[in-house]
Amino acid sequence: MKCITPPLPFRQLAAVAALAIGAAACSTDSPTSPSVGQAGSSSSITAATTSSDIATSAGNSIASDIQGLTANEVAAINPSLAINTAHFDDKVGGTAGSSTPTANGPSQTCTFSTSTQVYTCTTSSQETIVRSFAYFDSAGKPMPKFIEGVTASIHYLVKIDGTVTKDSSFTAVRHSLRDLTVSGLLGDTRIWNGFGSSADTNSHTEPLSKRTYTGLAVDTLQAVTFAKERSTHPYPLSGVAIRVVNYTVVSTGKETVTTTVYKRVVVTFNGTANVPITLGNFSCTLHLDTKKVDGCK
């Protein structure tokens, strides 16, 4: 796995989050491996079905992330947009140093630190979401804003913690960190590197059963390269996205079934919307435009 070490001011801001769950991701793109297999009563889930489901879930997530990279890059060119952008701040308005209500009620506070040159927006409701970003020149010196022809890279950090309850039957606990850097802003390509790490627990209760999902995941972007001109080249020209999942699902009802899965999913970009996605010897095609996965074998 390739990790990008941000310049010192941003590292100081992110130190606690990075030490909490990011350090493990920087040493390897794999969470701690569990014993792979199934325990408890027999399950009808076959290896092929499980691999197909994981490929579909991981592929959808990676395709969404790729769209998000473009949205963040476009927004960050303008400092005011970077604070107010729909993607960066989850469709929440606000200005630096202000606190404003979101469409769903919670407030958002955005600030700019003159000492670290870092923008930070915090949104709190059921979850607390902290998004930070900073600009750097070719020498790695922080800048207060984007300047065409001078800004060489942008660093993003997003940390999410909290519990979401949609109704009495569904509860999700999420702890995640995404640490990304886009470079090449002085040339004709945009190169993304970084990682994400998450630990989630979801519970879904039905009239006669309950499913509890406990999972760890690590995502890595390795030199995912876009052309500067997105209108004619909307998809990454090259690079790799890796998602490693390590989860356990416990289903209870008439009987208890426990399924444990550990998989490493790799997507290799080729400049088109149709890219290969693999899980070991199992391969499919991910369609970046529709976020669908098919052709698994």
pLDDT of residue 128: 92
pLDDT of residue 47: 63
Pairwise CA distance, residues 121 & 195, whole Å: 20
pLDDT of residue 190: 95
> Is 2 within a domain?
no
pLDDT > 80? residue 15: no
Question: What's the rounded mean pLDDT across residues 24-29?
Answer: 42
Domain residue limits at 110: 8-294
> Is 3 within a domain?
no
> Is 34 within a domain?
yes
> Is 143 within a domain?
yes
pLDDT tens sequence across 71-95: 878 767 664 444 443 333 333 223 3
Pairwise CA distance, residues 111 & 173, whole Å: 27
pLDDT tens sequence across 128-141: 999 888 999 999 99
DSSP string, 107-139: EEEEEEETTTTEEEEEEESSEEEEEEEEEEETT
pLDDT tens sequence across 256-297: 999 898 999 999 999 999 999 999 889 999 999 999 999 999
The count of structural domains within the chain is 1
Biggest alpha carbon–alpha carbon distance for the chain? 65
Both tokens assigned to 180: 């990304």
CB-based contacts of 206: which residues, under 8 Å, 6+ apart?
Answer: 169
CA-to-CA dists, residue 10 to 20, 94, 117, 156, 195, angstroms: 16, 22, 8, 9, 16
Residues 157, 187, 272, CA angle at the centre, nearest 5°?
75
> Is 1 within a domain?
no
Which helix or strand (DSSP H or E) is residue 82 part of? helix 79-84
pLDDT tens sequence across 92-106: 223 333 334 444 456
pLDDT of residue 4: 38
Full-model pTM: 0.76
Q: Do residues 38 and 248 lie in contact, with contact meaning Cβ atoms separated by under 8 Å?
A: no
Count of C-beta atoms within a 10 Å radius of residue 252? 14
Cross-strand partners of 159: 130, 177
Which helix or strand (DSSP H or E) is residue 172 part of? strand 170-183
CA-to-CA dists, residue 45 to 104, 108, 132, 249, angstroms: 39, 43, 41, 12
The DSSP call for residue 96 is B
| Identity of the highest mean pLDDT range in 71-75, 166-170, 175-179 | 175-179
% the chain with pLDDT above 90: 50
Write a three-state SS string for 1-36: CCCCCCCHHHHHHHHHHHHHHHHHHHHCCCCCCCCC
